[in-house]
Amino acid sequence: MRRLTTETFKVVRGELGWDRYATIASVAPKAAADNFVAVQTQASEVAIVSFDGQPTHLMAPWQTRAFWKGVSKIEVERIDAKASLRIDKAHLARLDLAKANPMVSQAIVEAHETALVFVDGAFVERVGAGRHAFWNVDRTVKVQKLDLRPQALEITAQEILTKDRVSVRVTLTAFWKIVDPQKVVDGSTDVAQTLYKVAQFAIREAVAARTLDDILAARDRLDAELRESVAKRTSELGVVVDELGVKDVILPGEIRELINKVVEAERTAKANLIRRQEETAATRSLANTAKLMEDNKLLLRLKELESLEKLVEKVGRIDLHAGQGQGLEAILKGLFRLEGDKAV
């Protein structure tokens, strides 16, 4: 007596294992055709399987799958991935590429970026802002994005000996940007690190060829020399250094104290010079005034009254007592009297 077994399957948007489908197709071809949609992809061919217009499966080359027809309408779109590197917008819109898929290389390029596309290590094209996707079938597609905005680079303190054997620490600041993306990718694995090393070498050479006084007194010339040196060494990297300059020159403690003393002495000497100049000017003015008073008794008398006025301002109260003597009127006339038409 034969024993029969039953097995249930999900037929709404369901899939049957290929081995079982092959068995059914061999013994009941009509039943297999009526109930299943079989998809077999060829070399370099991918297939998008959709249920009721919604893409649900992306099949790789040399893949076989069988889907239950059930109540859903099944559509299969075949694509020759070898003939088309880029995934066109229509397919890109239908595919769910939120999850990583080994058959697809994609990148979203921002407005301030650019991207280089390489196929099997060879440069193919440069793409701008937007969403880009490529078939990664029978080849290796790599999309490398680069930031085109100006970028800052801080070169930390480097301890260097000057020409007069003084140890100083120098920090630099640079602003650079990419102008040739392909040169950047071909020339260096890390362009920022390469720029860092180039700037280090440039500042060591520049400082070693100068005395401490030259470094402190001619920062502008030092910055210009650094920019020229770095520009020559980075010309083949595909970048341009817009700004490069010394940010800080850090001196040893004892040197810093000596410089502070020198600066203080210079300021003191300058203050003394200014004070002497002012004293000389005041003396010259006083001498001129005395000469004028010598020749003009009225001016002398006015100066006396001015001095008396200043003296009286400091006196709280003046008491005058009428008694024996010439009296108040005589006192006032003594302070200011006229002889003829002249005041004495």
Q: What is the pLDDT of residue 215?
A: 81
**For residues 213 and 182, which has the higher predicted lDDT (pLDDT)?**
182
CA distances from 245 to 130, 147, 249 (A): 36, 23, 11
CB atoms within 10 A of CB 158: 16
Q: What is the DSSP letter of 87?
A: P
Q: What is the pLDDT of residue 286?
A: 74
Count of residues for the chain?
Answer: 344
- pLDDT, tens digit (0-9, with 9 covering 90-100), for 279-304: 888 788 777 777 777 677 776 677 76
Q: Has residue 332 got a pLDDT over 60?
A: no
CA distance linking residue 103 with residue 136, whole number of Å? 5
**For residues 168 and 256, which has the higher predicted lDDT (pLDDT)?**
168
- Residue 99 pLDDT level (bands cut at 50, 70, 90): low
The three-class DSSP label of residue 295 is helix
CA distance linking residue 133 with residue 223, whole number of Å? 45
CA distance linking residue 275 with residue 293, whole number of Å? 27
Burial category of 257 from C-beta neighbours within 10 Å (exposed 0-12, middle 13-18, buried 19 and up): exposed
Q: Has residue 321 got a pLDDT over 90?
A: no
Q: What is the pLDDT of residue 342?
A: 47
CA dihedral 152, 157, 159, 160 (to 10 degrees): 40
- Cα 117 → chain centroid: 27
Q: Has residue 341 got a pLDDT over 50?
A: no
Q: Has residue 114 got a pLDDT over 70?
A: yes
Query: Given strand 141-147, what is the order of strands in its sheet?
Result: 122-127, 113-119, 141-147
Q: Has residue 344 got a pLDDT over 50?
A: no
Tokens of 49: 């399987």
> Nearest 5°: phi and psi at 289?
-65, -45
Please tell me which of 14-18, 42-46, 50-54, 250-254 the model is most confident about, judged by mean pLDDT: 42-46
Q: What is the DSSP letter of 1?
A: -
What is the DSSP code string of 173-236?
A: EEEEEES-HHHHHHH-S-HHHHHHHHHHHHHHHHHHTS-HHHHHH-HHHHHHHHHHHHHHHTTT
**H helix runs in the chain, sequence order:** 18-27, 29-35, 89-94, 181-187, 191-208, 212-217, 219-233, 253-295, 297-313, 327-335
- pLDDT, tens digit (0-9, with 9 covering 90-100), for 195-243: 999 998 888 888 888 888 888 888 888 888 889 989 888 888 899 998 9
Q: What is the pLDDT of residue 343?
A: 44
> What percentage of residues in the chain have a pLDDT greater than 90?
26
Computed over every residue of the chain, the mean pLDDT equals 82
The residues pairing with 172 across neighbouring beta strands, listed in sequence order, are 155, 246
CB 119 within 8 A of CB 139: yes
- pLDDT, tens digit (0-9, with 9 covering 90-100), for 49-93: 988 888 888 899 999 999 988 778 899 999 999 888 998 888 887
Statement: the pTM of the whole predicted model exceeds 0.85: no
The residues pairing with 268 across neighbouring beta strands, listed in sequence order, are none
CA distance linking residue 15 with residue 219, whole number of Å? 75
Q: What is the pLDDT of residue 253?
A: 59
Q: Hey, what amino acid is at 96?
A: D
Residue 258 falls in which region: left (phi positive, over 0), alpha (psi -120 to 50) or beta: alpha
- pLDDT, tens digit (0-9, with 9 covering 90-100), for 139-158: 999 999 999 999 999 988 67
> What percentage of residues in the chain have a pLDDT greater than 70?
81
Q: Hey, what amino acid is at 107?
A: A
